[in-house]
Chain A
């Protein structure tokens, strides 16, 4: 079955600690992978996409086709990183994003 899994509903880290938000996917073909973020009281917005190979707000994500993973990482968490993060493959055949259940990141001082 095609699915995307974010195993942690809540991840709590201290400011300055490394962060890794896990995402595993199970899709046929080679979906394009995205991370979306929703800050408190704001709309869902794009954080980064794997084909861009960019670092956005200090976050990076590497697509590992062998492990079918697309984990989101940041070496030093900041308080403003506290938000809900969603991993989402874009399946070309379906032409849509399919979202995981999300991980709530809480950065504590």
Chain B
């Protein structure tokens, strides 16, 4: 296990197309997070899962965005009918939720950069 993996690293698409990003968390981590980061801004929370349950979604996550974590392991983030405003870095992170010293410490992936033309 080499940490949090994200795929693809960079996606260029035309406006109106659908895109899907995949995140593979650290295997023993039960929480998985998606963030979005645009130039000059800090990461903005989108959604998170505990095991397979999606427990919170940001108001930033419009109806065009959907995230899944079907078996409590990897997760996908799909954006339908992409818009130029969706261009950003999409970050995935994972963590533990128990009371261990590692709880609440998010480990981030390298991100998937989306460019919508």
Query: Is A13 among interface residues, defined by CB-CB distance under 8 A?
Result: no
Residue contact A46 to B48, C-beta cutoff 8 Å: no
Q: Hey, which bits of chain B sit against chain A, CB under 8 A?
A: 31, 33, 35, 40-45, 48, 50, 55-56, 91, 97, 104-111
Distance to closest chain A CB from B77 (angstroms): 16
Residue contact A96 to B43, C-beta cutoff 8 Å: no
A100 to B44, CA, bound (A): 9
Residue contact A43 to B42, C-beta cutoff 8 Å: no
Residue contact B105 to A99, C-beta cutoff 8 Å: no
Q: Hey, which bits of chain A sit against chain B, CB under 8 A?
A: 9, 32, 34, 43-46, 49, 86, 88, 90, 94-102
Distance to closest chain B CB from A46 (angstroms): 6
List residues of chain A with CB within 8 A of the CB of B43. Answer: 44, 86, 97, 99
- Contact of A99 with B55 at beta-carbon distance under 8 Å, contacts A32-B104, A49-B105 already known: no
Residue contact A86 to B42, C-beta cutoff 8 Å: yes
Residue contact B106 to A46, C-beta cutoff 8 Å: yes
Please pick, from A32, A90, A95, A101, the residue contacting B42 in the complex, using a CB distance under 8 A. A101
Residue contact A101 to B91, C-beta cutoff 8 Å: no
List residues of chain A with CB within 8 A of the CB of B104. Answer: 32, 49, 90
Please pick, from B41, B50, B108, B111, the residue contacting A101 in the complex, using a CB distance under 8 A. B41
Distance to closest chain A CB from B7 (angstroms): 14
A70 to B34, CA, bound (A): 25
Known: A43-B110, A94-B56. 15 other contacts (CB 8 A): A43-B109, A46-B106, A49-B104, A86-B43, A88-B42, A95-B48, A95-B50, A95-B55, A96-B45, A97-B43, A97-B45, A99-B42, A100-B42, A102-B41, A102-B42
A43 to B33, CA, bound (A): 15
